[in-house]
Amino acid sequence: MSMEQLKSDVAEFAALLEQAKSARVKGVLTTGKAEVEREIVNLEMKARLAAERQASGSSEAKRYLHELTDYGWDQSAKFVKLFITLNGVQGCSEEAVTVNYTETSLQLHVRDLSGKDFGLTVNNLLHAIDVDKSYRKIKTDMVAIYLKKAEEGVNWDVLTSIQKRLKQKQDTEMTKDTDNPESTLVNIMKKMYNDGDSKTKQMIAKAWTESQEKSRMGKEFDGAGGLDTLGDL
């Protein structure tokens, strides 16, 4: 998809957000808008790197940027810390591992690691960071990024504002129909199904199927309609 189309999509999401009233709808639109913005950032990064490689006239022009999506994170009173596993990264020079920061985002770029480039983009950080006091360290098979909290002592329960909205949406779904025990149980199973790994999903699917078979002659769980309902949320 072209950059122009992506920017048009962002503008449309923004317009729809202004009109949306339901918290559920706003959550869906916000998530969609963030995903498109992430695509724009990645395209911009790839275009910039391609231009740099072409200008250098080196073998860099032949390397493809591998987008990283997995990382762990932790925090202290002063810093939010991200840990990105990259085998052999300790062999890279300091200049080959760079991080660009804004108050609410970061972009990691690792150049020429085993003939490949790697990038990680995190947008919409939950709170602002101090760009000048944020830094990164190269460790054995890992890059550690230290984001200096603009407001020390503030706890980050999630890393990004998008994750915050999704968590609030899930919590809202969990608290609905609290007077109906069966409905509450269904919501719990849905959340476990959505959040679980493949093994957990198989276990819940089996339990759900057995429960549906036992209640076939009686009242089913609040009209839940089976596993497709679990997977849709």
Judgement on whether residues 115 and 188 belong to the same structural domain of the protein: no
3-state class (DSSP) for residue 56: helix
**Residue 63 DSSP label:** P
Judgement on whether residues 46 and 89 belong to the same structural domain of the protein: no
Judgement on whether residues 76 and 142 belong to the same structural domain of the protein: yes
Most confident of 15-29, 115-129, 196-210: 115-129
Judgement on whether residues 184 and 206 belong to the same structural domain of the protein: yes
Within-domain flag for 113: yes
- Tell me the pLDDT tens digit for each residue of 120-172: 999 889 999 999 999 999 999 999 999 999 999 999 999 988 888 877 776 66
CATH code at 144? 2.60.40.790
At CA 164, angle to CA 15 and CA 159, rounded to 5?
Answer: 115
Task: Look at strands 65-67 and 72-75 and give their pairing.
Answer: unpaired
Q: Which domain holds residue 136?
A: 65-149
Instruction: Indicate the range of 45-49, 159-163, 221-225 predicted with least confidence.
Output: 221-225
This prediction's pTM: 0.56
Give me 197's structure tokens: 């790994």
Whole-number pLDDT of residue 69: 84
Name the domain count of the chain: 3
The pLDDT mean for the chain works out to 78
Give me 26's structure tokens: 């706003």
Q: Is the pLDDT of residue 199 over 70?
A: no
Within-domain flag for 35: yes
Question: What Cα–Cα distance (Å) separates residue 183 from each residue in 155, 178, 190?
Answer: 33, 8, 11
